[in-house]
Structures are given as structure tokens and as C-alpha cells.
Structure 1
Amino acid sequence: MHHIFRHDVHLFSRLKDVLELPLPAAVEAVVLPNDLTETRPVERRVDTLLRLDSAKDGSLLLAIEAQGKKDPSKPASWAYYVSYLWTKYGLPTALLVVCQDRATAEWAARPVASGPAYMPTLSVQPIVVGPHNMPVITDPVKAGEDLALATLSAITHAGDPDIGAILKALSTALRDVPENVADPIIEFTAQGLSKRTAQDLWRTLVAVDLSFYKSYLSEEIRDEGRAEGRAEGQAEGRAEGQAEGRAQASAAAILLVLEQRGLDVPDDVRDRVNGCDDPDLLRSWLVRALTVSSAEEIFADE
């Protein structure tokens, strides 16, 4: 059934009317090797692969990719992943792409076909989650109802102007859960936030709100605080070094939030924040910094 196309390599072009397709008139056609076996191992890894089992609908595979920017070569890789998994496991295979900016999310969601427009043949159109469709969770109660969803919300909104309020809601929600539940959430959030400002803010919130936890990140932050305390001549012991480091981190977070929200920070506000060593007062200023309309308002009612 196929050899006739090899015998007359221009036959396909002459099927234009039969197939009712705008087939091009090939100037030249070349018979290529038909062996598609991989002659050497090619390493291809999908970021995460899950098998989801349902009593009603059976099983499906879910391939999950994290995409930080547009990459013209990715759709072909995604097509390979899906077709290979479909062939290997014989199960329906879906593709989910996680993005942190709207432009990349819109690019990833577009259908891409292996063939020309009139013969798409194999099309890839992932389901995409990103800042365009993920909820903005700024209520600690809502964040506590689904910590994983709140974490994904924070990660996908890393560049959002409200990232301070989003992370604050998550860190507040984590104060009420057991350490073994909070630890992975703390680490996943730290690793997923690709924006430097969001990363710094999360580290500070962990140091201030979750200082009683022993996670890798919180221990790392406390070590930095102790080092800063020693570098500045704080020789009164480990406890004082920790307190000094946390106070400096809190002050830096307050000023960072105000600046990232586009608010003017006068020198007297900056000096007052940097000169404060009361952790409870710094925490209240940090909470206010997320919503005030001017830097001076963080000192309201004091």
C-alpha cells in the first residue's frame, strides 16, 4: 500500500483534487531511510509524570512541565513526550504546563502542529496554569484550606504586584500547621519563586513568621542572621545574634515591600524601621506595609 509512493515520489502532490487539500507541487522528493530506531540512547526527561487512577474513568497519565520562558523547540519535545508515553503505557496522556508570566502562558497554550496547516497530523495543545488563570490568595484562612493550591498560586504569581500579600497569607497559614506539613511547603515555595524580590520576601517571612520551624530554609536564614550578628560585633551570644539577624531581615523586608509597591520611603521612615529591634512591632509594620497607601502609614496608631 505504500511502495507506490516510493516508486513515484511526485504521486502525493498529484492527489490534490482527490484529497481536496492545497498540496504543494514538489520540485524534488527524496526517499529517506525508513528505520526510526534510536541508534544510541537519547536522554529525554519530563519534569513530573503522574498516573491518575479513577474508579469511574480509568487511568490517565499527566506529564507536567515547568516553563519559564518561550522556547520554540519545546512543542516538538512535548509532542515526543506525549506520543512516547502513549506508546509505552497505552494510556490517555495529558500535558500540563506551569508558567509564571502571562506572555509565556499564552504562548504555551497555543496549539502547535507537526504538519502544515492543511494537514496538522499531530497537534500539541497543553493545559496551562499561570498568573492568567490561577487565583490570587491573600486571605490566610483561604490559604490554610488548601496549602498546595496556595503554594501554586504564590509560585505562578511571583511577578505580581500583590506577591507580598500572597506570601504573607501563606506564611500566616503555615503557623497553624504541624512542622512536617509546613516544611515541604516552605521549601517548594522557596524553590518555585524565580523572581529575586519574591524570593527575598519569602525568606524574610520564613525567618519572622516561621522562626520556630527547623526546615532547611529557615535554618539557612537563621545561620545568615547569626553570621550578620557576629560580623557587626554582636558578641553577647547566639541568642542575641539570632535576634539581631531576624530584626535586620524584618526591617529589610518592610522597606522592600514598600519600595516594590512603588511607595516613596523617606529617610526618617527608613531610619526608624532599621533602628527597631522589637520583633512584634516589626511584624505589625510588615503586615501594614502590604496594604498602606504611604510609607508613613505603617506607624499608624503608635
Structure 2
Amino acid sequence: MTSPPHHAMVRVFQHDPDLFGRMAPRLGIAVPAIVETTPLLSAADGSSPVACRWNTQLHLKTAGREELQLLIEAQDRRDPDKPMHWAHHVAYMWSRRRLATCLLILCADAETARWAEQPVSSGPAQPPALTLHPFVAGPHNLPLVTDQDEARADPALAALSAMMHPADPAVGTALKALSAALRALPHVLAYPLTDLTDQALALHPARRAWRELMLPVVREKEYRRAHAEALADSARESLLLVLGERGFHLDEDMRRRVTGCHAPGILRHWLLRAVTARTPQEIFEDR
């Protein structure tokens, strides 16, 4: 079982599915140019008997029109049981979806990464019945991004590199470059990488430096959330006042919808309907 900080590395690929296509040449992975990447349902959907909610699965299309399935996992230490798990997972998903399937292992420890790179074989030695060659990304083959221009060009890659080098003497420089790149992005794009980097550094002193660098982004998120909650509370209060003035009685399901809604736009939409609706049902019906 991997530790929570390592799960953040996997989630970077959920935030930016195209990252693998940009990483592959750096890792020396001989995959044709990837032109389209689509996230698949997580293994937590029950599609695999070896389901793990920390997996990421991607559907890749290459320039040569080849279609591949990529499974991504994180590993934080040697585990003699994991190679069998990897082989089982790859073989099962290959047979289930009928797509050529490959595996990427993410490691923040060079020794673990080199262990994970070893082929997994089953059967007689000459030849084995089944052999799996995992792709591996780790501090040994993914350099730390310390240049600000490089971080701006690919913030997701810069974030992943920082996650894989948390104890590197130059990690402070890398985090400054990454923070500058993220502050230049819209909040909706910057915050996921800010949060994932924070999670990945949870066990390292570098986390304090990261939080100091990104404090404005964190405060902005907190402000936006508080502002949205205030707008929702105001719209909900106005809606209930209008309903009361019009003598409308809400059944249990309707009241649950109102009290459980935290989207200001939806609540305002119901409020406008409440002004002219002839019955409470008209307020909430789809049109």
C-alpha cells in the first residue's frame, strides 16, 4: 500500500492526462507520438478484481492510429507482492478492454524506482510464459525542474518533478520556479497542482517552504469558497422568504433540495421561478 503523499503523483495525471505524452520522450519510452489522451474510469469502478482507487487509467491514441491503454500506479518502497499485482492488473485489463496495455510506475525514491524497473516474469526461465516490462518514472530519470521558463512551459511536469525530488538540495529553487508558473495561471488550473504538490510534500521540510510560497493562492481559494457560500446562503434565504409570502408549502423532498443546494446560480434560478410559479412543483421541474 502506498502512502498518501505518493497518491498525489498519480492524481497529477488525472489533472493533466496529456502529461504522459510529454514525459515519454524524457524517460526514453519508445511510444509513438501521442495525439489524444482520454481518462478512463478508475479501477475503483469495480472493473478489475485488483481494483485500487489510487490508480489512473488513460486511453491513448498515437499518430500512427494505434490505441493503447496506460495504467498508472505509485510505489513508495519495495514490495515483493506488487510485481504479481501489476502483471495481473495489466493482463486483466488487456483482456477486458481488448487494448494493448502498458504500465507506468511512479516513484519518489531512486532505489525503489530501479527495483520497479525490473521485468516481471512467470513460467519457465527459457522462455517465461509471461513477462511484463513496466515503465518507471522516478528521480533517477526525471530531472528536477529548477528553471522558471521550463516550469512555465509545463507546470504539471514541474510539479511532478518536485514531488519526486522532495529532499534534493535544489528543491527550494524548483518550488520557487513552480510557484511563479502557477501564479501566472488561472486559479482553476493553478489550485489543483498547488494542492497536489502540498500533499506530496507532506512528510518533508520542503512543505513549509511551499506553503509560504503559495499562501496567496490558498487564501484566494478560501475567499472564493466563503464568497460562494455567502451568495448561496443569501439566495436560499430569499427563496424561502418568497415561498413563505406566496403561501407555498414544500414537501420533504423539495425542502431537502433547497437546504442541500450550495450553488448560488441554481438557487437564484429557483428564486426567479418562485415569483411567478403557480405551484411549488413548477419551481423545481426541469424545462
* TM-score interval for Structure 1 and Structure 2 normalised by the shorter chain: 0.5 to 0.7
Q: Deviations over 1:88-129 (max 9, x none)?
A: 011100100010010000000011211243332111221100
- Return the alpha-carbon distance in structure 2 between the equivalents of residues 133 and 216 of structure 1: 37
1:83 aligns with one of 80, 91, 98:
91
2:141 aligns with one of 133, 143, 148:
133
- CA 1:217–1:171 in structure 2 vs 1: closer, same or farther (change >3 Å)? farther
TM-score calculated relative to the size of structure 2:
0.57
Letter of the 1:115 partner, please give it. Answer: G
The Cα RMSD (Å) is 2.4
Q: Deviations over 1:196-246 (max 9, x none)?
A: 212222122212xx3575236999xxxxxxxxxxxxxxxxxxxxxxxxxxx
For 1:173-252, list aligned pairs within 5 A: 173-207=181-215, 210-211=216-217, 214-215=220-221
Q: Per chain length, whose mean CA-contact separation is higher, i.e. which structure has more relative contact order (CA < 8 Å, sep 6+)? A: 2
1:53 aligns with one of 47, 54, 61:
61
Name the counterpart of 2:76. 68
1:122 aligns with one of 118, 122, 130:
130
Please say if residues 183 and 217 of structure 2, whose CA atoms lie closer than 8 Å, have aligned partners that are also in contact: no
Q: How big is the shift at 1:165?
A: 1.1
Q: Deviations over 1:246-293 (max 9, x none)?
A: xxxxxxxxxxxxxxxxxxxxxxxxxxxxxxxxxxxxxxxxxxxxxxxx
Please say if residues 56 and 72 of structure 2, whose CA atoms lie closer than 8 Å, have aligned partners that are also in contact: yes
- CA 1:195–1:163 in structure 2 vs 1: closer, same or farther (change >3 Å)? farther
1:44 aligns with one of 47, 51, 63:
51
- Return the alpha-carbon distance in structure 2 between the equivalents of residues 83 and 91 of structure 1: 10
Please say if residues 151 and 170 of structure 1, whose CA atoms lie closer than 8 Å, have aligned partners that are also in contact: yes
- Return the alpha-carbon distance in structure 1 between the equivalents of residues 66 and 149 of structure 2: 34
1:148 aligns with one of 140, 149, 156:
156
Q: Deviations over 1:167-215 (max 9, x none)?
A: 11101222222211211110121122353212222122212xx357523
TM-score calculated relative to the size of structure 1:
0.54
Gaps of 5+ in 2: 1-47, 226-287
1:161 aligns with one of 163, 169, 188:
169
2:117 aligns with one of 109, 116, 125:
109
Letter of the 2:119 partner, please give it. Answer: P
Q: How big is the shift at 1:166?
A: 1.0
Q: How big is the shift at 1:55?
A: 4.9
- Return the alpha-carbon distance in structure 2 between the equivalents of residues 115 and 201 of structure 1: 49
- CA 1:105–1:216 in structure 2 vs 1: closer, same or farther (change >3 Å)? farther
Identity of aligned residues (%): 43
Please say if residues 167 and 204 of structure 2, whose CA atoms lie closer than 8 Å, have aligned partners that are also in contact: no
Gaps of 5+ in 1: 1-40, 220-302
Larger radius of gyration: 1
- CA 1:198–1:149 in structure 2 vs 1: closer, same or farther (change >3 Å)? same
Please say if residues 101 and 159 of structure 1, whose CA atoms lie closer than 8 Å, have aligned partners that are also in contact: no
Letter of the 2:221 partner, please give it. Answer: S
